[in-house]
Amino acid sequence: MTDLDTTKQADSDEKEKGTPTVTRLEPTTELLAEIESKSQELETATPQEILSWASERFGPYFAMATAFGPEGMTMIHMLSEIAPETPIFNLETGYQFQETLDLRDQVNQRYGIEVQLITPELTVEQYEAKHGGPLYEKDPNQCCFDRKIKLLQDVSRRLHAWTSAIRRDQSSHRAQAPIVGWDKKFGLVKVSPLANSTKQDVWGMITKYDIPYNPLHDKGYSSVGCWPCTRAVLFGEDERAGRWSGTAKTECGLHSIDD
Ligand code: SF4
Question: How do residues 213-227 score in pLDDT, each as one tens digit?
Answer: 999 999 998 889 999
Mean pLDDT on 176-194: 95
Per-residue confidence band for 21, with pLDDT thresholds at 50, 70 and 90: low
pLDDT at 4: 61
In-domain check, residue 231? no
Mean pLDDT on 49-77: 97
Q: How much of the chain is helix, strand and coil, in % rounded to 5?
A: 45, 10, 40
For residue 85, the domain's CATH number is 3.40.50.620
In-domain check, residue 238? no
For ligand 1, atom 6, the nearest C-alpha belongs to 144
> Which has the closest alpha carbon to 94: 249, 253, 218, 229?
229
pLDDT at 224: 92
- Pocket test of ligand 1: the residue of 95, 124, 151 to mutate, having most ligand atoms within 8 Å of its CB, is 95
Choice among 87-91, 152-156, 244-248 with the minimum mean pLDDT: 244-248
Residue 145 predicted with pLDDT over 90? yes
Mean pLDDT on 194-218: 96
Residue 57 predicted with pLDDT over 90? yes
Residue 37 predicted with pLDDT over 80? yes
CA atoms of 187 and 156, how far apart (whole Å): 7
In-domain check, residue 206? yes
Mean pLDDT on 223-243: 84
Helix (H) or strand (E) run with residue 161 in it: strand 161-163
In-domain check, residue 71? yes
Burial class (CB in 10 A: 0-12, 13-18, 19+), 248: exposed
> Which has the closest alpha carbon to 221: 239, 245, 244?
239
CB of 228 within 6 A of ligand 1: the answer is: yes
Range of the domain at 36: 4-214
In-domain check, residue 227? no
Residue 8 predicted with pLDDT over 60? no
pLDDT at 259: 45
Structural domains in the chain (count): 1
The whole-model pTM stands at 0.89
Residue 12 predicted with pLDDT over 50? no
In-domain check, residue 221? no
> Which has the closest alpha carbon to 136: 94, 171, 170?
94
In-domain check, residue 146? yes
Q: Using the atom order of ligand 1, give the atom closest to the CA of residue 227.
A: 7
Residue of 17 and 251 predicted with greater confidence: 251
CA atoms of 24 and 188, how far apart (whole Å): 8
Give catalytic status of residue 229 as yes or no.
no
Distance (angstroms) between ligand 1 centre and the Cα of 94 equals: 9
Q: For residues 166 and 255, is the Cβ–Cβ distance under 8 A? A: yes
- Pocket test of ligand 1: the residue of 100, 138, 148, 152 to mutate, having most ligand atoms within 8 Å of its CB, is 148
CB of 233 within 6 A of ligand 1: the answer is: no
CA atoms of 61 and 54, how far apart (whole Å): 10
CA atoms of 132 and 128, how far apart (whole Å): 6
> What letter does residue 84 receive in the DSSP assignment?
T
Distance (angstroms) between ligand 1 centre and the Cα of 226 equals: 6
In-domain check, residue 191? yes
pLDDT at 233: 83
Alpha-carbon distances of 21 from 10, 18, 120, 133, rounded to whole Å: 8, 10, 22, 38
- Pocket test of ligand 1: the residue of 137, 142, 229, 240 to mutate, having most ligand atoms within 8 Å of its CB, is 229
